[in-house]
Structure 1
Amino acid sequence: MKFNVERKTFQQQLSAVSKVINAKNALSILDNFLLKVEGDRLSITGSDQENVMTAYMTITESEGDGAIAVSAKRLLEITKEISSQPLTFYINDETKEIDIRFLNGHFNFMGVDATEYPARRNQEAEQKTMMLPASMVQKGIDSTLFAVSADTVRPIMTGIYWDIHENDVTFVSSDTHKLVRYINSESAPGFTGSFILPSKPANILKSIIGKEDGDVKIVFDSKGATFELGDYLLSCLFINGNYPNYNRVIPQENPFEMTIDRVSLLTALRRVSIFAAKSSNLVVLDIQPNEVILHAQDLDYGTSAEERVNCSYEGNTMTIGFNGQFMIEILNNLHDDSVVFKLSDPGRPGIYTPLQQQEGEDIVIIQMPMQVL
């Protein structure tokens, strides 16, 4: 088997696929890329057993179809160190010897029999298919990924919940301290369904969507899904379990509203949070009709900070505490110039929404308050 590849494109595809490979694998074969040649097309596959990623590219001067597994670490190091130039692969199908030739030299090493590489999971007969704009999938992941829980005690909270309706897709995530509900009606799936997408494939999808335009073809059954976009194909397993009723968590009666410049509040929070106690990151908001005063202190080190930010507030004056780092994350993921902060009392969650929702979008973020001593 012989083929030529353009180094830059090859390295880009290897890098994309490498995101699915774990640093340590239970099966040694998963330390490898699976390279498969079919005519003038090369597929590069990586896997961690639960997720399988394949990238495709065009090759030239191809002689013979076939497949071989190649050390991912070695191939990434080789392509990283060679300047942009064609690479020619000579692969002995019987001995699995690989010879990579380039302008000034060559590399020679052994590959692994491709038949040892685990096959992609066969999907169930009963499955659903939807075509969603890449921008819709990217916005859904971008808006919710930051609030996914890292606590494996409750696995269902460690992924993004896709609640699919006939006319929209609702993306939800929560770590119990904050919850994001993002509705996008840019495209109508035409059916109902749901699944919990783990954070790892969500991150991989986020990275490849930026490289491709067009629609994402999503085919899923009760156990997992395949996402097909341009030159990429990602298969993953879902998180099993029933996601909590997120609508019940969102307070319906928050009569007091504070409208504030997002960047002004964000920059003030960053400064004040430096002086918050590291154990709690507590920032206290003293909300008044024309301004909000931010307080933070660390009694262990005898430090404190206070800053005032102009706002428009309708309601009773209120003193309420929140985790400052969580507030910073939330404000970083709201992209309108102004934010509406809805409250009812110091013991109930606060609700963040952009002042102007984008067309076809509806995002709501809630944050649990902290006790103010």
Structure 2
Amino acid sequence: MRFSISSDRLKEALSKVSAVVPSKTTLPILQDILFELKGNALYLTATDLEISVRMTIEPVDGEEDGAGAIPEDKLTSVVKALPEGLLLKFESLDSNRVLITTNKGGEYKMSIEPADSFPAIPESIGETAGFGVVISGGVLKEIIENTVFATSKEELRPATMGVLFQFKGDEFIAVATDGYRLVKIARRGVVNLKGGADFSGVIVPAKTLQIIAKSIEDEETCEIMINEKHIQFSTERITIISRLIDEKYPNYESVIPYENNKELVVERDLFLSTVKRVSIFANSTTNQIKFKLDPSGFVEVSAEDVDFGGSAKERLDCAYNSEPMEIAFNAKFITDILGHIDSEKVLFKFGSPTRAAIVQPYEDSEDREMLMLVMPMRLNA
């Protein structure tokens, strides 16, 4: 294997491919990146056996086709430390060493494993896919970023460690929950590759989606293909294949209190900054903040730490259409939700102090519907 490539292009590619490389594993080969040169096309592949990433870099200056697996940590460390704009030349010295030289006199020798030692991964699941859609990279990243934060980290509830994907005609629905909060986003306008057939849903691991969000550019078009056990995300440059979470997703529609009719409308930025300030004085264990809603046109946000004697409260103007009510929440959940709503004003819909609240953008685009749900906390005496 012998080829030349700019350090900048390789650095960008490594930043995307290396995200899947496990830091600890019982199979050392998984900590390598497989390099394959075919003509003037270079393919980089990494896997942790659950998620596989394959990236195409072309054209490169290919001189001799070949393949080998190079340790990711050492290679990435070297390439990151190099000045910008260098030309790198890779050349296999023998079956277990590769020489990397720069056009400024740098020389690095690293170990290299035979390509056939690297786990075999499918280049595509297209032949076995039972469903597929096409979506813009920007829309896909927005959906991921606004749902994955609400997934659970509890391994005892594996279904909630991923995001549910559902497709209905030209509508893409994504749902995430950790049992304390829930996010549902519906985006219209995806291109269905199966003639408008609905798809009941699959659960995509949060780790996979975090890698997708870092790997795909807004302007790219992404094809999503799904078979019985895997999901594949593909652009012209990169293909990411992941195992699905084989669990039954909770019936999320049954927990959304659509009948909530106590509506609060506030300016998002002002409300978010107020919650952040007041929550500094919340109890470090419960992180509880309290909303005191008044129909005369204000909401009071307060927190108190009885153990240390600290407290804070602020009053904001708002629009509220019902009787006075007090309700408490975990401040982190509120800041997370408000941080993922992009409208100038936000709409809260309450039922009672013990029922989940719905949070939505006050105004949303015609092709998007966003709904977030957060569970209240028991009010401190």
Give the TM-score category using the shorter length.
over 0.9
Letter in 1 for 2:335: I
Match of 1:319 in 2: 326
Match of 2:338 in 1: 331
Q: Is residue 302 of structure 1 aligned with residue 309 of structure 2?
A: yes
Q: Name the % identity.
A: 28
CA contact (8 A) 2:141 2:218 kept: no
Deviates more, 1:151-160 or 1:103-112: 103-112
CA deviations 1:123-162 (Å, max 9, x no partner) are 4735222211212211211211111111111000011100
C-alpha change, 1:358 and 1:313, in structure 2 (3 Å) is same
Q: Which aligned pairs between 1:196-345 and structure 2 lie closer than 5 A? A: 196-209=203-216, 211=217, 213-289=219-295, 290-345=297-352
Letter in 1 for 2:114: D
CA RMSD of aligned residues (A): 1.4
Report the secondary structure of 1:70's partner residue.
strand
Match of 1:87 in 2: 88
C-alpha change, 1:61 and 1:185, in structure 2 (3 Å) is closer
CA distance in 1, matches of 2:273, 2:24: 40
Report the secondary structure of 1:30's partner residue.
helix
Deviates more, 1:83-92 or 1:325-334: 83-92
Report the secondary structure of 2:49's partner residue.
coil
CA contact (8 A) 1:212 1:230 kept: no
Displacement of 1:59 in angstroms is 4.5
Displacement of 1:188 in angstroms is 4.2
Match of 2:48 in 1: 48
Displacement of 1:165 in angstroms is 1.0
CA contact (8 A) 1:159 1:196 kept: yes
Match of 2:30 in 1: 30
CA distance in 2, matches of 1:240, 1:91: 42
Match of 1:349 in 2: 356
Q: Is residue 107 of structure 1 aligned with residue 113 of structure 2?
A: no
Match of 1:156 in 2: 159
Question: Which runs of 5 or more structure 1 residues have no equivalent in the other structure?
Answer: none
Displacement of 1:244 in angstroms is 1.3
Q: Is residue 142 of structure 1 aligned with residue 145 of structure 2?
A: yes
CA distance in 2, matches of 1:280, 1:82: 47
Report the secondary structure of 1:316's partner residue.
coil
Match of 1:71 in 2: 71
CA distance in 2, matches of 1:95, 1:354: 59
CA distance in 2, matches of 1:298, 1:285: 16
CA contact (8 A) 2:56 2:238 kept: yes
Question: Which runs of 5 or more structure 2 residues have no equivalent in the other structure?
Answer: none
CA distance in 1, matches of 2:21, 2:60: 27
Q: TM-score, normalised by structure 2?
A: 0.94
> How many residue pairs get matched?
371
Match of 2:368 in 1: 361
CA deviations 1:302-336 (Å, max 9, x no partner) are 11111111101000110111111110000000110
CA distance in 1, matches of 2:92, 2:314: 66
Q: TM-score, normalised by structure 1?
A: 0.96
CA deviations 1:33-68 (Å, max 9, x no partner) are 100001100011111110001111124442222110
Displacement of 1:219 in angstroms is 1.4
Match of 2:197 in 1: 191
Report the secondary structure of 1:176's partner residue.
coil
Displacement of 1:163 in angstroms is 1.1
Displacement of 1:298 in angstroms is 0.8
Runs of 4+ more than 3 Å apart? 121-126
CA contact (8 A) 2:233 2:239 kept: yes
Displacement of 1:110 in angstroms is 2.3
CA contact (8 A) 2:129 2:225 kept: no
CA distance in 2, matches of 1:61, 1:150: 44
CA distance in 1, matches of 2:281, 2:8: 46
